[in-house]
């Protein structure tokens, strides 16, 4: 499993190939193996892809990132690009971006997240509340 093969599939593969690949990555990230070859580069690539909307697989990419965050060491991954795109994220993606930032456990994202606490969308407001709890409160 190399970054370039994954990137090629996610860029040029069919929707089915992309979904199968992301499902496979979820399985790998859920494993007890904490020494996944190329893990940091693969997850960083996925994080960077989240801000290039592909509505057909956006949720699958986000699910794969969240699986990695929950099951693996993500301390070497830079999530700033997600933070930088909160303002421009589509309403249906924004709660997922907030969730990604909450699972970094990096309190530097709190100011960006709390900007949305009074959002009109209930899912976004709930994502903000959950993220604040996950990040240890204000």
List pLDDT tens digits, range 52-89.
877 788 999 999 999 999 999 999 999 999 999 999 99
Say what the pLDDT of residue 78 is. 97
- Both 34 and 47 in one domain: the answer is yes
Q: Which of 52, 78, 104 is the last residue of a domain?
A: 78
Out of 56, 78, 100, a domain closes at 78
pLDDT of residue 114: 97
Co-location of 89 and 69 in the same domain: no
* Residue 74 and residue 28 in one domain: yes
Task: Band the pLDDT of 1: cuts 50, 70, 90.
Answer: low
DSSP one-letter code for 108: G
What band does 104 get if pLDDT is binned at 50, 70 and 90? very high
- C-alpha to C-alpha distance for 98 and 101, rounded to whole angstroms: 5
* Mean pLDDT to the nearest integer, 128-134: 97
Residue where a domain stops, chosen among 78, 93, 122: 78
CB 4 within 8 Å of CB 21: no
Verify that 39 and 87 share a domain, yes or no.
Answer: no
Percent of the chain with pLDDT over 90: 83
Split into its structural domains, the chain has a count of 2
Q: Is 67 left (phi over 0), alpha (psi -120 to 50) or beta?
A: alpha
In angstroms, the CA 43 to CA 70 distance is 13
The confidence score (pLDDT) of residue 125 equals 97
Sequential DSSP letters for 66-104: HHHHHHS--TT---HHHHHTTTTS-TTTHHHHHHHHHTT
Nearest Cα neighbor of 84 from 105, 67, 65, 100 is 100
């Amino acid at each position: 499993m190399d970054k370039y093969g994954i990137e090629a599939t996610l860029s040029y593969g069919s929707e089915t190939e992309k979904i199968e690949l992301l499902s496979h990555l979820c399985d790998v990230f859920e494993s007890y193996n904490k020494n996944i070859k190329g893990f940091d580069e693969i997850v960083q690539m996925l994080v960077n892809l989240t801000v290039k909307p592909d509505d057909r697989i956006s949720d699958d990419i986000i699910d794969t990132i969240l699986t990695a965050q929950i099951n693996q060491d993500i301390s070497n991954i830079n999530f700033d690009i997600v933070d930088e795109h909160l303002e421009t994220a589509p309403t249906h993606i924004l709660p997922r971006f907030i969730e990604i930032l909450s699972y970094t456990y990096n309190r530097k994202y709190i100011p960006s997240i709390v900007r949305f606490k009074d959002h009109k969308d209930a899912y976004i407001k709930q994502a903000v509340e959950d993220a604040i709890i996950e990040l240890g409160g204000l």
